[in-house]
Amino acid sequence: MKKTHSPAPQHVEVASVSDATMRRFVGYRMKRAFNVVQEDLARVLKPFELRMLTYTALVLIVDNPGMRQSQLADAMDIERPNLVVLIDELERRELIVRDRVPTDRRAYALKATLAGLRLYDRAVAAVAAHEARLLDGIDQDSIATVLAALKTIENARQGD
Amino acid sequence: MKKTHSPAPQHVEVASVSDATMRRFVGYRMKRAFNVVQEDLARVLKPFELRMLTYTALVLIVDNPGMRQSQLADAMDIERPNLVVLIDELERRELIVRDRVPTDRRAYALKATLAGLRLYDRAVAAVAAHEARLLDGIDQDSIATVLAALKTIENARQGD
DNA sequence: TATTGTTATACTCTATAACTATA
DNA sequence: TATAGTTATAGAGTATAACAATA
């Protein structure tokens, strides 16, 4: 069903493009929304010289001091090799440290430094403000519904 | 706040990781859910030798015969240069054609071939079934709420 | 001048295999 | 033998500048 009278689009979009099939294509809708979130988040994190991945790693380490890299990779849903460079970067900036685990000398216990904690405080506040702005038009019940649905989708992951 | 008694996690996860801060980090939750959707979609599209991007392009072209590449890039939320290789790929496989537009010889009118239409039919059906499976645990009202919320987020895009 | 499609290029994120040092 | 972290590498996806042809 094509829109013949485009009802004042919020942002520039191809008014004549039919999305009859796409409208219910959840992957497509999620991607478009996630693009906006990601793009906007990148802008918010830029002053802190953080990207979504480094921010996520920092937050998880601050909230879970002593966690291992493999646990962090799992929590971030990325492969271990890809985590290494992220941790390298955070360590080089002296935001976190890799402490040896005495009981298992293969592993590292990740901990935030004081500088890491300070950056965490500022960045978390900025991101919270950013997301509040992004979700401005959506009521709390709907947000709860969305988060629950996202969690359900996560758990619906097929055979790993 | 750390969970001391992990409540039977559906899939393998680091039980001891606190997500107090992350739980309300919408970008993170969206990313994890989108990862699952994307990963699962890739598996569904593989038999058709399509990826999410080529599938999306094909669907939009079938639904909007004659559309221009710049319109398609806009609809897909990607840059024009990145669309070129996707169109090349679909054209090489003879699923679509680039027709010259007589009134504007700079532009191409994109159209699906018969083979493209046939692949479209099969792929759309497979994706619909796939998404139905993925959204199985979520009621229709919630799905509508989620789609509306995703649309709101899309439109909340900051200064382009 | 501006726009359509294009080329070239670089950067980020992701995925896999294979290595090392420990367990 | 298995696991934690690492290296190397290749593949996607994305973003920007600059160009030719056309408007």
A49 Cβ under 8 Å from any chain B Cβ: no
Evaluated on CA atoms B77, A42, A127, A80, the torsion sign reads positive
* Residue A65 lies inside a defined structural domain of this protein: yes
CB < 8 Å to B77, chain A? 31-32, 35
B107 touches strand C (CB under 7 A): yes
Task: Assess whether pLDDT exceeds 70 at residue A15.
Answer: no
Q: Which residues contact B120 (CB under 8 A, 6 or more apart)?
A: B58, B59, B62, B112
C-alpha distances in angstroms, B67 versus A98, B113, B143? 54, 14, 30
Task: Assess whether pLDDT exceeds 70 at residue B5.
Answer: no
Q: How far apart are CA B59 and CA B63, in angstroms?
A: 6
C20 nearest neighbour residue (CA to C1'): A106
Residue-number span of the structural domain to which B97 is assigned: 22-135
* Residue B40 lies inside a defined structural domain of this protein: yes
Other residues' Cβ atoms within 10 Å of the Cβ of residue A12 = 9
* Residue A123 lies inside a defined structural domain of this protein: yes
* Residue A15 lies inside a defined structural domain of this protein: no
Q: What's B50's domain CATH number? A: 1.10.10.10
* Residue B6 lies inside a defined structural domain of this protein: no
| Least confident residue range of A69-78, A127-136, B16-25, B141-150 | B16-25
How many domains does one find in chain A?
1
pLDDT in tens, A51-92: 999 999 999 999 999 999 999 999 999 999 999 999 999 999
* Residue B154 lies inside a defined structural domain of this protein: no
Tell me, what's the pLDDT at B158? Answer: 67
* Residue B109 lies inside a defined structural domain of this protein: yes
Cβ–Cβ below 8 Å for B26 and A135: yes
Cβ–Cβ below 8 Å for B152 and A137: yes
CA of residue B101 to C1' of nucleotide D21, angstroms: 14
Confidence of residue B12 (pLDDT cuts 50, 70, 90): very low
* Residue A115 lies inside a defined structural domain of this protein: yes
